[in-house]
Amino acid sequence: MLFSRDRAANCAVCFLLTATSCATETPPAEAETPEGEMCEHLAEGPAQIVAASSADTAAALPEVSKSHTRFDVDLPKDASGTYTGYVRFAAPAKGAYLLGMNAKVPVEVALAASGTAVAPAVAVKPACAVALYQAELALELGTYRVKLGPAHSAKVGLLFEAK
């Protein structure tokens, strides 16, 4: 006999312990993509209700900067009978950001302090069915004024996701 009885038993126990520990290990979670995060939070929240301002005064604009949060924005009715409103977004760092909305609403983004428009948002094919509008923006660290509208509906859900 090549192995002693004790040694064969020890090998069998080691094999069973190794096989059992491998079977119960959970595989590592896949890394979330910014697009996946955007879709998840547009669909499931958490959500926060915000009333957009009818004036574009930077100091008075409601903020939509909390990460991983969908902002359900109530747009005020304008003189033409459509809905237009302003909110502000504070970019915590320079970089690419996704803007996702659950409605197709015209959007303009400008630096709050100077009013300088950000290069037009590059609309991209939405990553999911709930994102009816999705764009990628290159932003600097700073606060931005976001104009939503004119729209035919008074409500729009939106969120910014760092890319």
Q: List pLDDT tens digits, range 39-97.
A: 898 998 899 999 999 988 766 899 999 989 999 999 999 889 999 999 999 999 999 99
Indicate which CATH number applies to the domain containing 96: 2.60.120.380
> Which range marks the domain in which residue 48 is found?
34-162
In a domain, 89, yes or no: yes
Residue 88 lies in a domain: yes
Residue 104 within any structural domain of the chain: yes
The answer as to whether 15 is a domain residue is no
Eight-state DSSP code of residue 3: S
- Number of domains within the chain: 1
Phi, psi of 108 (to 5 degrees): -130, 135
150 found inside a domain:
yes
pLDDT value at residue 59: 67
This prediction's pTM: 0.76
- Inside any domain, residue 125: yes
Give the DSSP H/E element, type plus range, for residue 20. Answer: helix 5-24
Rounded Cα distance, 17 and 38, in Å:
42
Q: Which of 159, 157, 149 has its CA nearest to residue 53?
A: 149
Tell the burial category of 31 from Cβ atoms under 10 Å away from its Cβ (0-12, 13-18, 19+).
exposed
